[in-house]
A and B are shown apart, each in its own frame.
Chain A
Amino acid sequence: DADVTQTPRNRITKTGKRIMLECSQTKGHDRMYWYRQDPGLGLQLIYYSFDVKDINKGEISDGYSVSRQAQAKFSLSLESAIPNQTALYFCATSEGQASTDTQYFGPGTRLTVL
């Protein structure tokens, strides 16, 4: 079984809809991250969490919110989806207390907003 899972893997939604992307991990890592990937732009950090009580904004948090329900679960929400949020979304985890630790990525969720 994969260590970092994301659901759904693919989602098509309409402008204005609320959508939640979920991430679960079995690695026992404290840190979790959400990134989006757009063609030609690499990965951009949306939010990250050091533990259940610690949530931090990344480079592009506007229009997104997150919830760290447990050490193993980190959800990303789009309260009112818009077409420029169409992208590939990745969840990642890392152990330890430093950002310099290796991050392990989930398989990605491809989101299309019409």
Chain B
Amino acid sequence: SQTIHQWPATLVQPVGSPLSLECTVEGTSNPNLYWYRQAAGRGLQLLFYSVGIGQISSEVPQNLSASRPQDRQFILSSKKLLLSDSGFYLCAWSGGRSGNTIYFGEGSWLTVV
């Protein structure tokens, strides 16, 4: 069966510090991968998605970036965090027999102070 792992689960970072969130998917090949952000009590904002290694589509201009160095690995980064970057970050995947159904990781709570 397919599983998705995302880490770290929580982090508190000072303004201006870098960020790296990692996500890996197991049990499937060539998945579509996504990064979403959810502000407190709000909806899901799609940040990036990738249909293959090195292929990244950005949905919202911001100081975040994403990379897909391996087929089942997706990384969200920032060189300098802003207060407004605080939120709940969700990695997700779709593809294979599951079609376009999206399966989310457990999320990473980021607080920028």
| A-B complex is real | no
Contact residues of A with B, CB < 8 Å? none
